Amino acid sequence: MKKITFWLTLAVFLVPCYARAERGAFDVERWYGLIDSVKANAAAQGVSQDVINQTVRGISFIPSIVKSDKNQSEFKLTLQQYLDRTVSEKRISEGRLMQKKYPTMLSRVDAKYGLPPHVILAFWGLESNYGAVKSKHKLTDAFFTLMYDGRRETFFTNQLMALMKIADKNNLDINNIRGSWAGAMGHFQFIPTTLSQYGVDGNGDGRVDIINSVGDAMFSAGNYLHKLGWNPNERIVRRVILPADFDLSMLDGKTKLTLPQWAALGVTNPDGTPIPSNQMMAGLVADVEHVQSLRDAAAATVIAENATAETDVDVAPMPVIDAYLTYPNFYRIKKWNNSNWYAIAIATLADRLK
């Protein structure tokens, strides 16, 4: 049997007892089998021997990554709570500073891909707080760990193969490429397979490095959004209000109607004026759980007041519903991150950075 490296021995030693009880002792044969499989797979796909050797040198199993994968938070913020966190005044202020710091690069991205500076800045702000958030995991360790765990072995094998090809093509030290525990990296948090498809050399040095080059990162993000069909002449969302009794089943963004059709259902601008009357299609998104909680609270008020009042109380007054008309660019954002809240946050931050 091949000799186990010091780091692998240390990593196995650190696996907590409960993990051993749940999953059994660390399977050294499986670990080395994965290494051999990666070496053979990479060689068959044309990865250089140097990069293959670098990739498998000193690989470590990281128990905390498996724990993160198995215990992803299910805590859900309301839309307003999410916006308060993601579109803070501090983030807006920092975005404006970045707009002044990189005017030429932002203009070049806009000219080439049709992505206005405020849109690129919004993605940059949400993904890495304009590069301030530094990822700590060596991606080769992360991918081998998640491949070993087996829950999504094929997916993470594909990510590792893509990462090896990226390192090879761009003359990068693969052991210096760091990202999140799940493999996202750089200023815009691309996973390797996305980077391999959309990565662009933005600073003209002949390679793509979205971690250390802001230009490469911006051009890659612009290229990705352009390929998703971004339309610079259309807005992302429009904030609106709805009648208090509006059908909540229509507020998940999946029902698409023309603006006149929405207007006929009582959708207006926040000040009560009519929304535009062109035939553009749009969805409608609101924080349905929050709206339902308001309705439940109103119903509870009626019950409580009926219990003490001499005459029946028919209904408690309900506020109008805050919502967003969602245009085609909204759904392009969701191909980047399939979250309504994320897409609304991008739109909100972009509007503040215009």
Identify the structural domains of the chain with CATH numbers, from first to last: 6-72+134-227 (1.10.8.350), 237-326 (no CATH)
Which of 287-291, 300-304, 307-311 is predicted most confidently?
Answer: 287-291
CA–CA gap between residue 10 and residue 71 (Å, rounded): 23
Residue 269 has pLDDT above 90, yes or no: yes
> Is the Cβ–Cβ distance between 183 and 135 less than 8 Å?
no
pLDDT in tens, 225-259: 999 999 999 999 999 999 999 999 999 999 999 99
User: Residue 244: CA atoms inside 13 Å, Cβ hemisphere, count?
Assistant: 11
pLDDT in tens, 97-144: 999 999 999 999 999 999 999 999 999 999 999 999 988 899 999 999
CA distances, 59 to each of 51, 52, 54, 56 (Å): 13, 12, 9, 6
Indicate the pLDDT class of residue 318, thresholds 50, 70 and 90.
low
DSSP-derived 3-state class of residue 248:
helix
Amino acid at 49: Q
Please compute the mean of the pLDDT values over residues 178-204 and round it to a whole number.
96
Report the alpha-carbon angle 52-162-332, nearest 5.
165
> Is the Cβ–Cβ distance between 292 and 248 less than 8 Å?
yes
> Is the Cβ–Cβ distance between 232 and 326 less than 8 Å?
no
Residue 14 has pLDDT above 80, yes or no: no
DSSP-derived 3-state class of residue 242:
strand
CA–CA gap between residue 198 and residue 248 (Å, rounded): 38
| pLDDT computed for residue 8 by the predictor | 44
Taking 3-state DSSP, the helix, strand and coil percentages for the chain, each rounded to the nearest 5, stand at: 55, 10, 35
What percent of the chain lies above the pLDDT cut of 70?
86
Question: In 3D, which of 239, 245, 295 has the Cα closest to residue 268?
Answer: 239
- Token pair 């392009």: residue: 332
Interhelix angle 79-86/340-352, nearest 10 degrees: 40
> Is the Cβ–Cβ distance between 174 and 211 less than 8 Å?
no
**What is the pTM assigned to this prediction?**
0.87
